């Protein structure tokens, strides 16, 4: 198709584009490689298969959050795959006149139809996104406006120049229309216009060059833009570790020279890949309770600030002396930003490329707490309580079991070998609302005929809040002490009403079993096989087995359920609490607009139960307002923290809604 001089010019264009594309790509690869080592190569085949499934079927973008926007992104994604294939064909066609990757087969006809279809869908998707970004202008789209404009213009230009080329290619070669319905229609119009063969041939050649220049120009721009996520996003999915919001790698507190994230060189290579994989879509910001309530935190900003810092440092400073790098807090991330996160996990759950926002925020907190002793002033009492009496209220640890004594509940010391340990938790032991939950759950276990006991004063805080507030040393101390007690008492099954305790015992403690001194191999094996369930899981099971027979609840009005973040989103316990509530409320049970994995936080997670919530609104008030708007008369939850936060917020809002724990509601309905 091309003359010899044109082929030489085209080869120079290919080389220049390759250099423009690869040079920044190599830089970003080196930035990732400069991160601290971390093994994310285990089960690599399974990782790749999972990532391919999420990408090829667009499960990463087709989510309940922004479903129509996700559909438009899917149009552009499949269009990109189609046009990438066409670009290969288009390039080779320059050297070999009439070249076709699929020959003149049925597959070629299908492909020509597909290119036309996705060309139209790409234009529709770009138009929708451009209107959203530049006319509707939601807060989540308030960044990267110039970059977005260049990307949208490039996609439109690539698509239109292709149709321009195809129309004149088909007009110049009658009988080759295949199933290219749009190109064929345009070609018919060209032939009927009376253009000379020479003019058609000239447009054909100009169209080829126009499309090539548009495509290769866009390729050269991609590494400098957020569109790079087309490459880094799938890689990030390969190396993602689902569940990273509910547990964190254990710090080596004995031999480590630094703790958490203090300098850029503390980031692991996967952290750096996260920063380069961000789509800048803002979904994380949309669902963030801190952002929604006016706090100085946007999960997207956390990642974009990290990316900017990486690129500003460059490879030499990132790999150079750690002391020469500025501290991440406050130079990169403001102090009040990192203390606003509830660790609810909503950001990570909606992220199309599964970026780990929470581990970074907790890592920044660890750096402040462990290395600098810097944290919000109101946490002084919290940490003192854990250090002195193993509970946030700083009540004498000997009083932990007093509520149980009043109900005649035995301790494991008094009743060794009990089938179940009721892990009460700090709220269930010392908070008035929490003790009411504990008492209701104990009565239900008795009604079901279960053999259970408590630890009493031998139980200590599980350490959930301490860990998420960055006090890893205190968390590990509590974890080791609790594991030693569980092993000594031969505990095999645990039920708890606290999702935070359930998550900690189930998912975080196993990493420390081999660190507990003085345990026998049998005791360590017993801890590894420990069954930990949330009370809603056990209660639903007891109802299904007929061991609890609740009667339908009395009273008028609808019932709703607030999913605790650490139960529903982090641990996937969604059906058991609903099974219990449907048994109690029947048709009066209804879902809140944000429920299940998409539930909205109460504001207590991440240790923020123990801090002053400022600035902006209280997160719990936003949730309470949603509950009131639902028209419900009864709001059920399954977490003592949620009960406290929503109870206070609903009382303040004055909506006449009663909030109770599921155990309390079930206890009242069960003889």
Q: Are the C-beta atoms of 17 and 219 separated by less than 8 Å?
A: yes
User: Do the beta carbons of residue 635 and residue 610 sit within 8 Å?
Assistant: no
**8-state DSSP, 35:** S
pLDDT value for 173:
87
Q: How many C-alpha atoms does 346 have within 13 Å on its Cβ side?
A: 32
Query: Among candidates 370, 369, 308, which has minimal Cα distance to 333?
Result: 308
Query: Sorting pLDDT into bands at 50, 70 and 90, what band is 319?
Result: confident
Angstrom CA distances, 87 to 92, 100, 372, 671, stand at 9, 11, 54, 72
Predicted confidence (pLDDT) at residue 98 exceeds the cutoff of 90: no
Helix (H, G, I), strand (E, B) or coil at 658: strand
Give the pLDDT band (50/70/90) at residue 142: confident
What is the reported pLDDT for 437? 98
| pLDDT given at position 555 | 67
**Average pLDDT across the chain, whole number:** 95
Model confidence over 290-312: pLDDT tens digits? 999 999 999 999 999 999 999 99
Torsion 488-416-437-661 (CA) sign: positive
Q: 3-state DSSP helix/strand/coil percent for the chain, to nearest 5?
A: 60, 5, 35
What does the pLDDT read at residue 470?
97
Report how far apart, in Å, the C-alpha atoms of 329 and of each of 73, 124, 270, 273, 493 are. 35, 43, 20, 20, 42
Q: Identify which has the larger pLDDT, 663 or 177.
A: 663
pLDDT at 174: 83
**Integer Rg of the chain from CA:** 30
Q: How large is the average pLDDT for residues 602-615?
A: 94
Asked whether residue 344 carries a pLDDT value surpassing 90, the answer given is yes
pLDDT in tens, 12-47: 999 999 999 999 999 999 999 999 999 999 999 999
pLDDT score recorded for residue 255: 86
pLDDT of 562-606, one tens digit each? 999 999 999 999 999 999 999 999 999 999 999 999 999 999 999
CA angle (614 as vertex; 613, 619 as ends), nearest 5: 55
What distances in angstroms separate CA 84 from CA 165, 219, 554, 609, one per listed residue? 16, 10, 63, 51
Average pLDDT over residues 541-567: 93
Q: pLDDT tens across 185-219, in order? A: 999 999 999 999 999 999 999 999 999 999 999 99
pLDDT in the model for residue 276: 97
Mean pLDDT value of segment 500-510:
98
pLDDT value of residue 611: 94
Residue 438 has pLDDT above 90, yes or no: yes
pLDDT score, position 636: 98
Q: What is the pLDDT of residue 378?
A: 94
The pLDDT of residue 242: 85
Mean pLDDT along residues 484-489: 98
High-pLDDT (> 70) share of the chain, %: 100
Cα end-to-end span (Å), the chain: 87
pLDDT above 90 as % of the chain: 89
- Categorize the per-residue pLDDT at 177 as very low, low, confident or very high, splitting at 50, 70 and 90: confident
pLDDT digit string, tens, across residues 353-376: 999 999 999 999 999 999 999 999
């Amino acid at each position: 198709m091309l003359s010899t001089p044109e082929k030489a010019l085209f080869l120079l264009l290919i080389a220049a584009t390759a250099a423009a594309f690869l040079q920044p790509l190599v830089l970003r690869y080196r930035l990732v490689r400069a991160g601290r080592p971390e093994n994310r190569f285990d089960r690599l085949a399974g990782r790749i298969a999972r990532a391919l499934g999420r990408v090829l079927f667009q499960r990463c973008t087709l989510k309940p959050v922004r479903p129509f926007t996700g559909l438009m992104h899917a149009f552009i994604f499949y269009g990109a795959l189609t046009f990438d294939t066409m670009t290969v064909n288009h390039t080779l066609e320059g050297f070999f006149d009439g070249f076709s990757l699929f020959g003149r087969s049925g597959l070629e006809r299908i492909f020509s139809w597909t290119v036309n279809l996705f060309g139209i869908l790409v234009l529709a998707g770009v138009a929708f996104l451009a209107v959203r970004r530049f006319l509707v202008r939601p807060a989540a789209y308030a960044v990267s406006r110039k970059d977005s404009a260049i990307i949208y213009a490039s996609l439109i230009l690539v698509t239109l120049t292709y149709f321009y080329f195809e129309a004149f290619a088909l007009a110049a070669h009658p009988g080759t229309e295949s199933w290219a319905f749009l190109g064929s229609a345009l070609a018919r119009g060209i032939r009927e216009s009376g253009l000379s063969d020479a003019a058609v041939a000239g447009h054909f050649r100009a169209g080829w060059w126009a499309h090539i220049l548009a495509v290769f120009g866009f390729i050269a721009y991609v590494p400098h833009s957020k569109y790079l996520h087309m490459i880094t996003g799938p890689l990030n999915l390969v190396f993602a570790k689902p569940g990273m919001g509910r547990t964190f790698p254990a710090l080596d507190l004995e031999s480590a020279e630094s703790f958490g994230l203090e300098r850029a060189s503390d980031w692991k290579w996967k952290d750096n890949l996260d920063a380069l994989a961000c789509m800048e879509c803002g979904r994380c910001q949309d669902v963030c309770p801190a952002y929604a309530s006016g706090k100085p935190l946007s999960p997207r900003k956390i990642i974009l600030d990290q990316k900017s810092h990486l690129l500003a440092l460059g490879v030499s400073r990132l790999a150079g002396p750690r002391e020469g790098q500025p501290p991440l807090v406050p130079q990169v991330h403001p102090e009040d930003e990192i203390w606003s996160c509830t660790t609810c996990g909503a950001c990570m759950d909606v992220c199309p490329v599964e970026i780990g926002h929470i581990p970074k925020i907790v890592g920044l907190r660890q750096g402040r707490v462990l290395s600098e002793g810097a944290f919000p002033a109101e946490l002084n009492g919290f940490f003192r309580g854990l250090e002195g009496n193993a509970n946030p209220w700083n009540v004498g640890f000997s009083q932990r079991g007093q509520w149980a004594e009043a109900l005649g509940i035995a301790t494991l010391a008094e009743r060794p070998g009990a089938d179940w340990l009721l892990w009460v938790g700090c709220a269930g032991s010392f908070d008035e609302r929490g003790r009411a939950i504990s008492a209701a759950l104990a009565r239900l276990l008795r009604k079901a005929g279960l053999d259970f006991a408590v630890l009493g004063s031998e139980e200590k805080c599980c350490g959930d809040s301490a860990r998420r507030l960055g006090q890893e040393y205190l968390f590990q101390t509590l974890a080791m002490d609790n594991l030693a007690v569980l092993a000594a008492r031969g505990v095999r099954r645990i039920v708890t009403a606290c999702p935070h305790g359930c998550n900690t015992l189930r998912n975080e403690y196993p990493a420390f079993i081999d660190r507990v001194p003085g345990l026998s191999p049998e005791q360590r094996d017993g801890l590894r096989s420990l069954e930990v369930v949330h009370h809603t899981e056990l209660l639903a099971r007891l109802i299904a087995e007929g061991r609890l027979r609740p009667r339908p609840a009395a009273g008028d009005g609808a019932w709703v359920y607030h999913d605790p973040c650490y139960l529903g989103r982090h641990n996937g316990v969604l059906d058991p609490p609903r099974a219990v509530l449907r048994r109690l409320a029947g048709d009066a049970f209804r879902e809140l607009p944000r429920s299940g994995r998409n539930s909205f936080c109460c504001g207590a997670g991440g240790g923020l139960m123990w801090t002053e919530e400022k600035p902006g609104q209280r997160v719990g008030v936003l949730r309470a307002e949603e509950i009131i708007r639902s028209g419900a008369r009864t709001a059920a939850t399954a977490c003592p923290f949620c009960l406290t936060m929503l109870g206070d917020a609903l009382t303040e809002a004055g909506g006449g809604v009663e909030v109770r724990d599921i155990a309390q509601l079930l206890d009242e309905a069960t003889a």
